Structure 1
């Protein structure tokens, strides 16, 4: 699935991922390929992505292992539709 993460300052990431875990207002949740369409509000916490391959354009992220990266966010929104995830973070 395709992921785009955008902040007010810049696009933080755009590329292919395997999964994303997000800090929702009712608790963390994970989105995988072919997930049902969803729109949700995010709260302060850790956003975790697993990429399809090693990715070098994740400079704002903390590397957990070869394909797993995390990013601390204060708030945001997410939309998932047709295997494309768009995350707006603050």
Structure 2
């Protein structure tokens, strides 16, 4: 098997993940992708979606990633994102309330409701619930 790649997930506040990976899968703005070690150099624009990492010991970790970019070069992967949360860091009750608020705004839009903002809030809440396996 190929030498594992080094993968780092960086947000403005912290390094969320820094380790080795045999594989990772995420969603770009134009669809899902998977990366194995020794992948060709590339930059990928990320969507708001789960990101799964398979480490060399066989452990699978899933994170909620809220957009950003992936840079792949020389068996090193850097993921730069405005926010990334592990399932353990997600407040499930808060995500449920955010989902309900966004759905309420979208079901009864009024002129003072920013529909695009409500759609983004709903997408973030659904991602958090998906990563925690609540939906």
TM-score, normalised on structure 2? 0.56
- Structure 1, unmatched stretches of 5+, are 54-65
SS at match of 1:75: strand
The list of structure 1 runs, each at least 4 consecutive aligned residues, that deviate by more than 4 angstroms after superposition, is: none
Q: Which residue number corresponds to residue 129 of structure 2?
A: none
Deviations 1:23-64 (A, max 9, x none): 1011110000111100011010001100112xxxxxxxxxxx
Q: Which residue number corresponds to residue 17 of structure 1?
A: 21
Correspondence for 1:83 among 75, 90, 93: 75
Higher-Rg structure is: 2
Decide which structure has greater helix share.
2
SS at match of 1:34: coil
TM-score, normalised on structure 1? 0.82
Aligned positions of 1:44-83 closer than 5 A? 44-53=48-57, 67-83=59-75
SS at match of 2:22: strand
- Structure 2, unmatched stretches of 5+, are 83-135
User: In the aligned structure 2, how far is the partner of 1:47 from the partner of 1:25?
Assistant: 13
SS at match of 2:13: coil
User: In the aligned structure 2, how far is the partner of 1:82 from the partner of 1:73?
Assistant: 23
Give the alignment's Cα RMSD to 1 decimal: 1.0
Choose between structure 1 and 2 for higher RCO, CA contacts under 8 A separated by at least 6 residues.
1
Decide which structure has greater strand share.
1
